[in-house]
Structure 1
Amino acid sequence: MEDLLADTKQSGLLFDALMEAAVDAIIVSDANGTMIRANKAASKLFGHEIDEMVGRTVNMLMPEALAALHDDFMTHHIETGEKRIIGLGRDVEGLRKDGSVFPLHLSVGHTEVAGERLFIGILHDLTERRAAQDALARSQRLDAIGQLTGGIAHDFNNLLTVVIGNLELLEMRGADDRQLRLIRDSLESAEMGADLTSRLLVFAKKGNLKPVRADLRTLCEDTLAILQRTIGEIYSIKTDFAEDLSDVLIDPVQLQSALINLALNARDAMPKGGEFLISVADVVIDDTYMAQETDIEPGQYVRLFVSDDGEGMGLEAQRRAFEPFFTTKSETGGSGLGLAMVYGFVRQSGGHITLYSEPGHGTSFGLYFPILSSDDGKVAATIASSAALEKGSGEVVLVVEDNPKVRRLSVERVRDLGYETLEAENGDIALDLLQSGARVDLVFSDVVMPGALNGYDLAAKVDEQFPAIKVLLTSGYASDVVTGRLGGTSDYEVLHKPYRQAELGRRLQALFEPTSSG
Structure 2
Amino acid sequence: MEPEIQNSALLDAILEAAVDAIIVADKHGVIQRANGAAFALFGYPAEEMLGQNVKSLMPMDMAAQHDGFMQHYMETGEKRIIGIGRDVEGLRRNGAVFPLNLSVGHSRIDEQDMFVGILHDLTQRKATEDALARSQRLEAIGQMTGGIAHDFNNLLTVVIGNLELMEMRSTDSRQLSLLRDALDAAELGAELTSRLLVFARKSNLKPVRTNLGKLCEKTLAIIRRTVGSAITITAECDPNVDPVLIDPSELQSALMNLALNARDAMGKGGDLLISVSNVAIDDTYIAQETDIAPGKYVRLSVSDDGAGMNEEAQKRAFEPFFTTKSESSGTGLGLAMVYGFVKQSGGHITLYSEPGLGTSFGLYFPAITSDRSEEKSDQASVSESGYLPTQEKTILVVEDNEKVRRLSLERMRNLGFRVLEAENGDAAYAMLKNGAEVDLVFSDLVMPGDLNGYDLAAKINAEFPKVKVLLTSGYVSDVITRGMAHSKPYDILHKPYRQPDLAHRIQALLAEVDDD
- Is it true that 1:499 corresponds to 2:486 in the alignment? no
In the aligned structure 2, how far is the partner of 1:163 from the partner of 1:414?
A: 63
Which of 455, 458, 464 is residue 457 of structure 1 equivalent to? 455
Query: Which residue of structure 1 lines up, in the alignment, with residue 65 of structure 2?
Result: 69
Once the 2 structures are TM-superposed, how far is the Cα of residue 275 of structure 1 from its aligned partner? 1.8
In the aligned structure 2, how far is the partner of 1:369 from the partner of 1:491?
A: 32
Query: Which residue of structure 2 lines up, in the alignment, with residue 110 of structure 1?
Result: 106
Q: How many residues align?
A: 513
String of CA shifts for 1:397-436, please: whole Å, max 9, x gaps: 44444555555555555456533214143x4554455445
Query: Which residue of structure 2 lines up, in the alignment, with residue 469 of structure 1?
Result: 467
Residues 111/433 of structure 1: CA separation in 2 closer, same or farther (3 Å cut): closer
In structure 2, give the amino acid aligned to 1:271.
G
Once the 2 structures are TM-superposed, how far is the Cα of residue 201 of structure 1 from its aligned partner? 0.8
In the aligned structure 2, how far is the partner of 1:84 from the partner of 1:383?
A: 56
Residues 11/375 of structure 1: CA separation in 2 closer, same or farther (3 Å cut): farther
- Is it true that 1:333 corresponds to 2:332 in the alignment? no
Query: Which residue of structure 2 lines up, in the alignment, with residue 238 of structure 1?
Result: 234
String of CA shifts for 1:133-158, please: whole Å, max 9, x gaps: 11111112212221221111111101
Q: Percent identity?
A: 63
In the aligned structure 1, how far is the partner of 2:96 from the partner of 2:383?
A: 29
Query: Which residue of structure 1 lines up, in the alignment, with residue 144 of structure 2?
Result: 148
Residues 25/433 of structure 1: CA separation in 2 closer, same or farther (3 Å cut): closer
In structure 2, give the amino acid aligned to 1:261.
N
2:401 touches 2:423 (CA, 8 Å); kept in 1? no
- Is it true that 1:443 corresponds to 2:441 in the alignment? yes
Residues 43/379 of structure 1: CA separation in 2 closer, same or farther (3 Å cut): farther
String of CA shifts for 1:68-115, please: whole Å, max 9, x gaps: 433333333233222122211111223334443322112222334444
String of CA shifts for 1:128-183, please: whole Å, max 9, x gaps: 10110111111122122212211111111011111222233334447465554444
Which of 114, 119, 132 is residue 115 of structure 2 equivalent to? 119
In the aligned structure 1, how far is the partner of 2:46 from the partner of 2:30?
A: 13
Residues 401/38 of structure 1: CA separation in 2 closer, same or farther (3 Å cut): closer
In the aligned structure 2, how far is the partner of 1:78 from the partner of 1:288?
A: 48
Residues 516/54 of structure 1: CA separation in 2 closer, same or farther (3 Å cut): closer
In structure 2, give the amino acid aligned to 1:139.
S
1:86 touches 1:110 (CA, 8 Å); kept in 2? yes
The TM-score, its normalising length taken from structure 1, stands at: 0.87
In the aligned structure 1, how far is the partner of 2:45 from the partner of 2:414?
A: 17
Once the 2 structures are TM-superposed, how far is the Cα of residue 260 of structure 1 from its aligned partner? 0.5
Query: Which residue of structure 2 lines up, in the alignment, with residue 138 of structure 1?
Result: 134
Query: Which residue of structure 1 lines up, in the alignment, with residue 23 of structure 2?
Result: 27
The TM-score, its normalising length taken from structure 2, stands at: 0.87
Once the 2 structures are TM-superposed, how far is the Cα of residue 515 of structure 1 from its aligned partner? 5.9
Which of 302, 314, 320 is residue 318 of structure 1 equivalent to? 314
Which of 342, 347, 368 is residue 351 of structure 1 equivalent to? 347
In the aligned structure 2, how far is the partner of 1:84 from the partner of 1:251?
A: 59
Residues 470/187 of structure 1: CA separation in 2 closer, same or farther (3 Å cut): same
In the aligned structure 1, how far is the partner of 2:198 from the partner of 2:514?
A: 56
Query: Which residue of structure 2 lines up, in the alignment, with residue 168 of structure 1?
Result: 164
Task: Give structure 1 stretches of 5+ with no counterpart.
Answer: none
In the aligned structure 1, how far is the partner of 2:7 from the partner of 2:243?
A: 61
2:473 touches 2:493 (CA, 8 Å); kept in 1? yes
Q: Which moved more, 1:126-135 or 1:406-415?
A: 406-415
1:414 touches 1:421 (CA, 8 Å); kept in 2? no
Query: Which residue of structure 2 lines up, in the alignment, with residue 198 of structure 1?
Result: 194
Q: Which moved more, 1:457-466 or 1:403-412?
A: 403-412
Residues 483/123 of structure 1: CA separation in 2 closer, same or farther (3 Å cut): closer
Query: Which residue of structure 1 lines up, in the alignment, with residue 223 of structure 2?
Result: 227
String of CA shifts for 1:50-75, please: whole Å, max 9, x gaps: 45544444344334443443333333
String of CA shifts for 1:454-490, please: whole Å, max 9, x gaps: 3323322322232222122222222111343223467
Query: Which residue of structure 1 lines up, in the alignment, with residue 418 of structure 2?
Result: 419
2:296 touches 2:374 (CA, 8 Å); kept in 1? no
In structure 1, give the amino acid aligned to 2:418.
Y
Residues 10/457 of structure 1: CA separation in 2 closer, same or farther (3 Å cut): closer
In the aligned structure 2, how far is the partner of 1:137 from the partner of 1:143?
A: 10
Query: Which residue of structure 1 lines up, in the alignment, with residue 42 of structure 2?
Result: 46
